[in-house]
């Protein structure tokens, strides 16, 4: 692939704004959840035409890219269904209006979404719901080929939803098959699961798994057994990813409170009514400490100063309990305007400033995509013009891959700089960096200005590159794991 790129307007923009834009890290995760369940974010409604589905997804990507995002977390399995052709689960009703009905004209939405996302230099994290099988037992479309019809004994009804029974080994095996199939067929950057393990408690109703507990409990208390069931599926998925495609990351987005301090001295100074450990049976700290997951995205959807779950308190707690894995903070941007705290236009900017104080936090994820279409409190503008004005790369995970690519080869003639990568590693593209005159030419002293997405080479018009406020310009190779080569002089 050869890209001829003019960056005159881009560099002029950098020159005019570099003086007041907040300095931002070169490595920072900046993601957005795109929910498909109940058509929350995409597609906007069931049974859009294929052309409308594609066009609206591209609009979403362009919006998030313009706001400085470098990743999307895309829900592709909301309820035992699929946004891609699967031999194991039917097409989602949220795509075509009827579960099991493929798009017409036929296409693979997942392949399309991954291609468009990677084309913009962004990562694609495939978001799966492990246990939800039917979103609403009274209203949802359920195909004859749905797993609840084939193996009804695998499922329980709780409230108005049908769930995979987490205590059954067959359920875990089925979920692992789903993950393994995805890893083999698609160019994913990560597998992602949210907070819905065992469901949130319904007052006065017990989750109906007593018979399964009696069969498989093995002397454990019911609570310990339930946690063990969640531990087992996490271990199984972790092993499947490592054996099938070890560059793929595994992340969990839990409810923001692991346990309250009143329940456990290790817990946070919060007063949450339900917690991961005690109610959802998700022992996130165990998964982090054992290295079964690569990143955690706690859903800190409360404001700073909240009387039961203060954002600042929880931010500090998670940073003290990350076990060396990546922490990306989940922000409740959807809450904009919902109360006095969320009418404050500084709520999200202040949350970003707080998390950047911690070297153990590597970024943010926002719920959810649709909110950005409204530009609540002008937060799109805050991100685009200030906090995310400079692009950032997704932080690499050294325990997965730490092999830096070779420097690019730069050749020049009177008008152009031709940049070529001759190394053996697969690359994401090239980064254009500025380094202040007099500073040592190192990544740590640089500011990323632009990512050029290409798999081999690019051409830049040297005549269109002005000086950038006392800085020199450099180029580096960036591989698909976001490792960066040594910098090479560009001009």
pLDDT single digits (tens) 289-327: 999 999 999 999 999 999 999 999 999 999 999 999 999
Q: How much is the pLDDT for 403? A: 95
Average pLDDT on 171-177 reads: 98
Taking 90 as the threshold, does the pLDDT of residue 28 lie above it?
yes
- Residues 419 and 339 both lie in one domain: no
- Residues 127 and 254 both lie in one domain: yes
Phi, psi of 123 (to 5 degrees): -85, 150
Taking 80 as the threshold, does the pLDDT of residue 462 lie above it?
no
Phi, psi of 133 (to 5 degrees): -115, -40
CATH number of the domain encompassing residue 464: 2.60.40
- Residues 268 and 355 both lie in one domain: yes
Taking 60 as the threshold, does the pLDDT of residue 15 lie above it?
no
Total-model pTM: 0.96
Specify if 198 maps to a domain: yes
Average pLDDT on 52-64 reads: 98
- Residues 316 and 413 both lie in one domain: no
Specify if 18 maps to a domain: no
Rg value, the chain, Cα: 23
Specify if 7 maps to a domain: no
Q: How much is the pLDDT for 210? A: 98
Specify if 220 maps to a domain: yes
Specify if 403 maps to a domain: no
Average pLDDT on 4-25 reads: 48
- Residues 339 and 458 both lie in one domain: no
Q: Which residues neighbour 152 within 8 Å (Cβ) at sequence distance 6 or greater?
A: none
Q: How far is 185 from 201, CA to CA, in rounded Å?
A: 36
Average pLDDT on 112-130 reads: 98
Tokens at residue 6, please?
């003019």
Q: How far is 172 from 51, CA to CA, in rounded Å?
A: 36
Least confident of 19-33, 53-67, 248-262, 462-476: 19-33
Average pLDDT on 272-297 reads: 98
Tokens at residue 369, please?
């995509």
- Residues 381 and 414 both lie in one domain: no
Least confident of 127-141, 213-227, 238-252, 410-424: 410-424
* Helix extents (H) in 152-306: 169-185, 210-216, 222-244, 284-289
Taking 70 as the threshold, does the pLDDT of residue 9 lie above it?
no
How far apart, in Å, are the Cα atoms of 91 and each of 40, 82, 104?
17, 5, 12
- Residues 378 and 417 both lie in one domain: no
Taking 50 as the threshold, does the pLDDT of residue 5 lie above it?
no
In terms of pLDDT, which residue wins out, 437 or 13? 437
Specify if 17 maps to a domain: no
- Residues 142 and 242 both lie in one domain: yes
Q: Which residues neighbour 231 within 8 Å (Cβ) at sequence distance 6 or greater?
A: 283, 286, 287
Q: How much is the pLDDT for 315? A: 98
Asked which of 337, 353, 387 is the last residue of a domain, the reply is 387
Asked which of 354, 387, 420 is the last residue of a domain, the reply is 387
Order of strands, edge to edge, in the sheet holding 447-453?
447-453, 427-436, 471-479, 488-489
Taking 70 as the threshold, does the pLDDT of residue 16 lie above it?
no
- The residue with tokens 């040592």 is 440
Angle at 454 between CA 452 and CA 457, to 5 degrees: 95
Percent of the chain surpassing pLDDT 90:
91
- Residues 425 and 308 both lie in one domain: no
Question: Which letter does DSSP use for residue 335 in this model?
Answer: G
Taking 90 as the threshold, does the pLDDT of residue 164 lie above it?
yes
Residue 231's nearest CA partner among 321, 276, 292 is 292
Specify if 206 maps to a domain: yes
Specify if 374 maps to a domain: yes
CATH number of the domain encompassing residue 124: 3.20.20.80
Q: How much is the pLDDT for 1? A: 41
- Residues 292 and 440 both lie in one domain: no
Q: How far is 388 from 378, CA to CA, in rounded Å?
A: 14
Q: How far is 301 from 63, CA to CA, in rounded Å?
A: 22
Taking 60 as the threshold, does the pLDDT of residue 417 lie above it?
yes
Tokens at residue 235, please?
């271990």
**Mean pLDDT of all residues belonging to the chain:** 94
Distance from chain centroid for Cα 465: 34
Q: Look up the domain containing 75 and give its range.
A: 27-387
Q: How much is the pLDDT for 22? A: 39
Q: How far is 307 from 50, CA to CA, in rounded Å?
A: 46
How far apart, in Å, are the Cα atoms of 281 and each of 215, 267, 278, 388?
19, 15, 6, 36
Using 50, 70 and 90 to split pLDDT, how confident is the model at 466?
low
Using 50, 70 and 90 to split pLDDT, how confident is the model at 469?
confident
- Residues 477 and 366 both lie in one domain: no
Q: How much is the pLDDT for 128? A: 98
Provide the number of structural domains found in the chain.
2
Average pLDDT on 362-390 reads: 97
- Residues 330 and 437 both lie in one domain: no
Taking 50 as the threshold, does the pLDDT of residue 2 lie above it?
no
């Amino acid at each position: 692939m050869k890209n001829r790129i003019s960056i005159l307007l881009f560099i002029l923009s950098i020159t005019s704004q570099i003086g007041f834009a907040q300095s931002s890290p070169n490595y920072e995760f900046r993601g957005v959840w795109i929910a498909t369940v109940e058509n929350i974010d995409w597609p906007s409604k069931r049974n859009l035409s294929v052309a409308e589905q594609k066009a609206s997804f591209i609009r979403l990507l362009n919006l998030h890219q313009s706001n400085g995002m470098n990743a999307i977390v895309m829900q592709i399995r909301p309820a035992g269904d699929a946004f891609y052709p699967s031999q194991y689960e039917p097409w989602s009703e949220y795509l075509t209006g009827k579960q099991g009905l493929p798009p017409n004209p036929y296409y693979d939405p997942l392949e399309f979404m991954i291609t468009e996302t990677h084309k913009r230099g962004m990562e694609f994290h495939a978001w799966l719901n492990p246990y939800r099988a039917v979103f609403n037992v009274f209203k949802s479309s359920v195909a004859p080929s749905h797993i609840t019809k084939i193996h009804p004994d695998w499922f329980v009804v709780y409230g108005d939803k049908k769930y995979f029974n987490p205590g059954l080994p067959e359920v875990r095996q089925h979920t692992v098959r789903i993950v393994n199939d995805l890893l083999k067929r698609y160019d994913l950057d990560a597998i992602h699961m949210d907070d819905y393990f065992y469901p949130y408690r319904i007052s006065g109703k017990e989750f109906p798994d007593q018979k399964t507990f009696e069969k498989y409990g093995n002397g454990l208390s019911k609570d310990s057994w339930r946690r063990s069931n969640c531990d087992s599926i996490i271990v199984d998925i972790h092993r499947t990813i490592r054996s099938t495609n070890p560059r793929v990351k595994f992340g969990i987005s839990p409810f923001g409170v692991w346990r309250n301090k009143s329940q456990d001295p290790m817990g946070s100074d919060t007063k949450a009514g339900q917690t991961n450990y005690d109610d959802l049976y998700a022992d996130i700290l165990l998964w982090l400490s054992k290295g079964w997951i690569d990143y955690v995205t706690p859903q800190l959807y409360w404001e700073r100063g909240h009387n039961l779950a203060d954002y600042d308190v929880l931010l500090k707690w998670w940073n003290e309990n990350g076990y060396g894995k990546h922490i990306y903070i989940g922000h409740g941007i959807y809450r904009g305007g919902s109360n006095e705290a969320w009418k404050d236009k500084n709520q999200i900017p202040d949350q970003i400033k707080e998390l950047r104080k911690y070297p153990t936090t590597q970024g943010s994820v926002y719920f959810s995509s649709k909110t950005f279409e409204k530009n609540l409190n002008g937060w799109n503008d805050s991100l685009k013009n200030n906090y995310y004005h400079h692009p950032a790369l997704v932080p690499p995970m050294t325990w997965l891959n730490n092999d830096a690519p070779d420097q690019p080869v730069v050749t020049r003639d009177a008008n152009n700089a031709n940049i070529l990568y001759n190394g053996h590693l697969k690359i994401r593209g090239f980064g254009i960096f500025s380094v202040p005159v007099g500073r040592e030419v190192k990544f740590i002293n640089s500011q990323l200005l632009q990512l050029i997405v290409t798999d081999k080479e690019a051409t830049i018009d040297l005549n269109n590159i002005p000086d950038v406020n006392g800085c020199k310009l450099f180029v580096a190779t960036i591989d698909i794991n976001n490792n960066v080569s040594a910098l090479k002089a560009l001009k």
